[in-house]
């Protein structure tokens, strides 16, 4: 092979291409498969950091890190109850860099859950689930896809949790599958279907393993691809509504594009580019390559660097091997479920089934309940939006602390010592009160402001703070026997036990 | 503004309502056959995941000769059962919390005390505490604090005819006043 050929391959590998003109940048996208991901030009408003904080991009990068480390871990992990725990011990002590792989996979999983939540908060607070008035986009539907991605992420974390087959794993799954059993009528059937029997054993491990390594990642990848494709189809981030408004104001009579780009016979309707008045020009946009590509490359490198950095300092814990005979005290789920576990402590049916179902359904319904189209792409919409955000935050703070205090100081069973009916305690408990208080606040704010957006902002901010407080309580303030301890109080060394 | 509005929301199918033409009928027929086919194909896939044989420990097992158990309470770790002995009276209480299935811990009193719970008087040695969500049970199993929805189960006890050992049957629940007299 001649030297020039090698140099040619090197050039292709490092891709030193710099477009000289807009036209060349456009042709570059046609020529390069990877660049199809991005549009030809990108609005400066979209590109700005505060518009998105790049949280979706970071989440996807973390998912890629999880995929790569996960595939390697699959070669080293044995999904059998006799050997799973010992293959983890091997990873930590016998496999070269096994500890790094495991830490990186674990820390990325935690990061992904946190990032998916943060991304959802960003999309909600900037009103980016709204269709817009000029070109009705399908952003409401994309929000629903996003909520499904949140659920898929939590399911992936949950199924991954059992695989180390240590005490933490075993008891988290015991608690989790019993929450499923709290569903009326079909609960026990669901539990046994998840377990593949009546107790946690080999059939359970192999089920969770296949879900974690094959089924759920495939579904998540497909839905994530759809999620990102829809952003392209909807013409970019929600803030481009501003560009559209400006374009319309500039040239109200400008001829509209009328060519359809949909896959005829498969997808119905037209893309938003048809009839879109936006003409991204020299003033309000730049070519995606290199401006967006370089930013995404930088974000990718930073994300990977931070994940690796964190996994160098944060150890991945491994408790004693799973022992069905001894429950650790306290037995805690992973942090993102501890808010749920706190509420499950009031009632398994209300805290573990009804509240999460209402929260997920409520999140999915947001774009269909709030159809106002003002301030799309702007944080908290406008001034009053910020005010109602602060109000919701404070309301959530007070009510959540109030309900916690009620749960700690006056448990329902001590207030009503004579009542034995379980249905009563499933319906009357702090989790129910919190749910009713938030629903009530939504309608009060709606009545006062006559704005679904302000009511939604207030409720969502209350939800965020409630989630944070409950998670913190479950994580840091609950000790042996799920008793309450202040952070400065020491846990009893020897809980009374037989 | 309204003239510039184009609806681009996702629609699965563009036909609104039933199409009365032959083409429409054939379309619906195809969809129906496809749905039935998917159900027929999906059933074996799902049914195969519901086990017909469980390779799990038996529900009825021997735990040893009655005289080998000490006076008071013994926790059988392997079976998650508390065995109570009051001279020649034996009874077994499940150690599985009725809330979410954690193993409860027995918290003994300094001295046994007479106690009446739900019109049942007995000599209480202590009470049960669950580490997962803080449920608490009286010494005979009644839940009195925390989220546990039901009392702890009590299991049937008998003597093995072959060996004279105690036999626990966790598939047979008995009332809390059940005592096996040996």
| HSE-CB of A98 using CA atoms within 13 angstroms | 16
- Measured distance CA(A342)–CA(A470) in Å, rounded: 7
**Residue A325 to residue B49, Cβ atoms within 8 A:** no
Could you report the average pLDDT of every consecutive run of 10 residues in chain A (498 residues)? 76 68 74 76 90 95 96 96 95 94 96 96 95 86 96 94 91 84 85 90 95 97 94 85 85 68 58 64 83 92 96 92 83 82 85 91 94 90 93 96 91 81 85 94 95 95 95 90 87 58
DSSP state of B160: -
Distance of CA A236 to the CA centre of its chain: 20
**What share of chain B has pLDDT > 90, as a percent?**
47
Element holding A154 (H helix, E strand): helix A139-162
Token readout for B179 is: 């005592």
Query: Is pLDDT of B170 > 60?
Result: yes
Nearest of B87, B66, B60 to residue B172 by alpha carbon? B60
- Measured distance CA(A400)–CA(A468) in Å, rounded: 10
- Measured distance CA(A371)–CA(A394) in Å, rounded: 25
Query: Is pLDDT of B8 > 80?
Result: no
C-beta separation of A355 from A113 below 8 A: no
Residues of B in contact with A134 (CB under 8 A): 1, 4-5
- Taking the CA of residue A171 and the nearest CA in chain B, the distance in Å comes to 7
Distance of CA A59 to the CA centre of its chain: 8
- The set of long-range contacts for A382-388, using a CB threshold of 8 Å and a minimum separation of 24, is A384/A449, A384/A454, A385/A453, A385/A454, A385/A457, A388/A445, A388/A449, A388/A454, A388/A455, A388/A457, A388/A458, A388/A461
- Measured distance CA(B133)–CA(A346) in Å, rounded: 8
**Residue A134 to residue B4, Cβ atoms within 8 A:** yes
* Token pair 């970071």: residue: A58
**Residue A481 to residue B134, Cβ atoms within 8 A:** yes
Q: Residue A336 has what pLDDT?
A: 84
Q: Going by C-beta distance under 8 Å and a sequence separation of 6 or more, which residues neighbour residue A141? A: A230, B9, B10
Query: Is pLDDT of B150 > 80?
Result: yes
Q: Residue A279 has what pLDDT?
A: 66
Q: Going by C-beta distance under 8 Å and a sequence separation of 6 or more, which residues neighbour residue A216? A: A152, A155, A156, A159
Q: Residue B61 pairs with which residues in a beta bridge?
A: B168
- Taking the CA of residue B100 and the nearest CA in chain A, the distance in Å comes to 5
Q: What are the tens digits of pLDDT across the range B103-149?
A: 898 999 988 888 888 888 888 999 999 888 888 999 999 988 888 88
Q: Give yes or no for B3 touching A (CB within 8 A).
A: no
- The set of long-range contacts for A416-423, using a CB threshold of 8 Å and a minimum separation of 24, is A422/B149, A422/B150
Nearest of B101, B94, B55, B49 to residue B76 by alpha carbon? B94
Residues of A in contact with B11 (CB under 8 A): 268-269
**Residue A481 to residue B130, Cβ atoms within 8 A:** yes
Q: Residue A287 has what pLDDT?
A: 85
Q: What are the tens digits of pLDDT across the range B14-65?
A: 445 677 889 889 989 999 999 999 999 899 888 888 888 888 888 899 999 9
Helix, strand, coil % in chain B, rounded to nearest 5 = 20, 40, 45
Q: Residue B105 pairs with which residues in a beta bridge?
A: B129
Q: Give yes or no for B96 touching A (CB within 8 A).
A: no
Identity of the residue in A134, A174, A414 whose CB atom sits nearest the CB atom of B101:
A174
**Residue A141 to residue B9, Cβ atoms within 8 A:** yes
- Measured distance CA(A353)–CA(A343) in Å, rounded: 10
Q: Where are the domains of chain A?
A: 38-344, 346-493
Q: Give yes or no for B1 touching A (CB within 8 A).
A: yes
- Measured distance CA(A267)–CA(B27) in Å, rounded: 17
**Residue B102 to residue A137, Cβ atoms within 8 A:** no
Residues of B in contact with A137 (CB under 8 A): 8
Query: Is pLDDT of B177 > 50?
Result: yes
Q: Give yes or no for A128 touching B (CB within 8 A).
A: no
Q: Which of A143, A172, A178 to mutate to test the interface with B (most CBs of B within 10 A)?
A: A178
Return the sign of the alpha-carbon dihedral for residues B121, B122, B123, B126.
Answer: negative
pTM of the prediction?
0.85
- Measured distance CA(A215)–CA(A76) in Å, rounded: 20
Q: Give yes or no for B48 touching A (CB within 8 A).
A: no
Nearest of A476, A477, A479, A478 to residue A493 by alpha carbon? A479
Q: Give yes or no for B11 touching A (CB within 8 A).
A: yes
Residues of A in contact with B7 (CB under 8 A): 136, 269
The H-assigned helical ranges of B48-113 are none
**Residue B9 to residue A201, Cβ atoms within 8 A:** no
Q: Which residue of B has its CA nearest to A330?
A: B131
Q: Residue A28 has what pLDDT?
A: 72
Q: Residue A257 has what pLDDT?
A: 64
Given 3.10.180.10, 1.20.810.10, 3.40.190.10, 3.40.50.300, which CATH number is that of A38-344? 1.20.810.10
Q: Where are the domains of chain B?
A: 2-47, 60-181
Q: Residue A24 has what pLDDT?
A: 77
Kindly list the distances between the CA atom of residue B89 and the CA atoms of A78, B92, B181, in Å, as whole numbers in the listed order: 47, 11, 5
**Residue A498 to residue B131, Cβ atoms within 8 A:** no
Token readout for A156 is: 């992936």
Q: Which of B3, B6, B52 to mutate to test the interface with A (most CBs of A within 10 A)?
A: B6
Query: pLDDT band at residue B2, thresholds of 50, 70 and 90?
Result: very low
Q: Which residue of A has its CA nearest to B104?
A: A327
- Measured distance CA(A184)–CA(A169) in Å, rounded: 26
Q: Which of B3, B8, B97 to mutate to test the interface with A (most CBs of A within 10 A)?
A: B8
**Residue A197 to residue B11, Cβ atoms within 8 A:** no
Q: Which of A194, A272, A482 to mutate to test the interface with B (most CBs of B within 10 A)?
A: A482
Kindly list the distances between the CA atom of residue B151 and the CA atoms of A150, A212, A411, B79, in Å, as whole numbers in the listed order: 37, 36, 18, 18
What is the fold, at CATH topology level, of the domain defined by B60-181?
Answer: Rieske Iron-sulfur Protein (2.102.10)
**Residue A326 to residue B149, Cβ atoms within 8 A:** no
């Amino acid at each position: 092979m001649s030297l020039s050929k090698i140099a040619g391959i090197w050039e292709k590998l490092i891709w030193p291409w710099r477009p000289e003109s807009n036209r060349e940048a456009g042709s570059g996208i046609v020529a390069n498969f990877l660049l199809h991901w991005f549009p030809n030009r990108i609005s400066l408003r979209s590109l700005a950091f505060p518009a998105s904080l790049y949280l979706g991009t970071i989440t996807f990068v973390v998912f890629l890190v999880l995929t790569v480390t996960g595939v390697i871990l699959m070669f080293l992990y044995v999904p059998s109850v006799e050997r799973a725990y010992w293959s983890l011990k091997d990873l930590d002590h016998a496999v070269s860099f096994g500890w790094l792989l495991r830490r990186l996979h674990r820390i990325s999983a935690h990061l992904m859950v946190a990032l998916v939540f943060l991304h959802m908060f960003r999309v909600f607070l900037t009103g980016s689930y709204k269709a817009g008035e000029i070109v009705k986009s399908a952003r409401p539907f994309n929000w629903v896809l996003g909520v499904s991605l949140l659920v898929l992420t939590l399911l992936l974390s949950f199924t991954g949790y059992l695989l180390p087959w240590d005490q933490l794993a075993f008891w988290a799954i015991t608690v989790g599958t019993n929450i499923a059993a709290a569903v009326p009528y079909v609960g026990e059937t669901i539990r046994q279907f998840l377990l593949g029997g009546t107790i946690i054993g080999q059939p359970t491990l192999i089920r969770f393993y296949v879900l974690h390594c094959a089924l759920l990642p495939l579904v998540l990848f497909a839905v994530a691809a759809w999620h990102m494709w829809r952003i392209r189809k909807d013409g970019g981030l929600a803030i481009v509504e501003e560009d559209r408004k400006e374009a319309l104001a500039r040239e109200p009579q400008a001829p509209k594009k009328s060519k359809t780009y949909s896959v005829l016979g498969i997808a119905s309707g037209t893309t938003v580019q048809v009839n879109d008045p936006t003409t991204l020009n020299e003033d309000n946009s730049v070519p995606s390559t290199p401006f967006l590509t370089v930013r995404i490359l930088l974000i990718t490198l930073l994300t990977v660097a931070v994940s690796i950095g964190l996994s160098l300092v944060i150890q991945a814990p491994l408790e004693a091997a799973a022992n069905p005979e001894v429950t650790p005290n306290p037995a805690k789920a992973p942090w993102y479920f501890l808010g749920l576990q706190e509420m499950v402590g009031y009632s398994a049916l209300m805290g573990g089934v009804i509240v999460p179902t209402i929260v997920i359904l409520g999140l999915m319904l947001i774009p269909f309940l709030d159809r106002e189209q003002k301030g799309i792409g702007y944080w908290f919409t406008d001034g009053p939006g910020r005010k109602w955000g602060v109000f919701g935050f404070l309301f959530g703070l007070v009510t959540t602390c109030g309900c916690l205090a009620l749960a700690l100081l006056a448990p329902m069973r001590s207030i009503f010592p004579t009542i034995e009916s379980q249905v009563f305690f499933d319906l009357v408990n702090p989790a129910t009160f919190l749910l009713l208080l938030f629903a009530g606040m939504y309608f009060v704010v709606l009545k006062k402001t006559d704005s679904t957006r302000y009511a939604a902002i207030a409720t969502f901010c209350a939800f965020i703070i409630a989630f944070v407080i409950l998670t913190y309580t479950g994580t840091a303030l609950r000790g042996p026997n799920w008793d309450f301890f202040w952070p400065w109080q020491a846990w009893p060394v020897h809980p009374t036990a037989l | 503004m309204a003239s510039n509005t184009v609806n681009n929301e996702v629609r699965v199918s563009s036909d609104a309502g039933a199409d009365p033409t032959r083409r429409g009928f054939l379309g619906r027929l195809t969809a129906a056959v496809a749905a039935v086919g998917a159900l027929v194909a999906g059933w074996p896939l799902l049914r195969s995941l519901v086990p017909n044989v469980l390779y799990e420990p038996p529900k009825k097992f021997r735990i040893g000769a009655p005289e080998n158990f000490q006076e008071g309470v013994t926790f059988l770790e392997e079976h998650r059962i508390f065995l109570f002995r009051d001279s020649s009276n034996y009874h077994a209480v499940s150690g599985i919390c009725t809330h979410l299935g954690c193993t409860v811990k027995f918290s003994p009193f300094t001295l046994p005390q007479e106690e009446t719970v739900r019109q049942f008087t007995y000599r209480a040695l202590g009470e049960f505490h669950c580490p997962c969500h803080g449920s608490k049970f009286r010494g005979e199993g009644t839940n009195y604090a925390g989220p546990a929805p039901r009392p702890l189960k009590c299991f049937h006890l008998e003597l093995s005819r072959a060996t004279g050992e105690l036999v626990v049957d966790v598939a047979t629940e008995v009332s809390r006043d059940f005592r096996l007299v040996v």
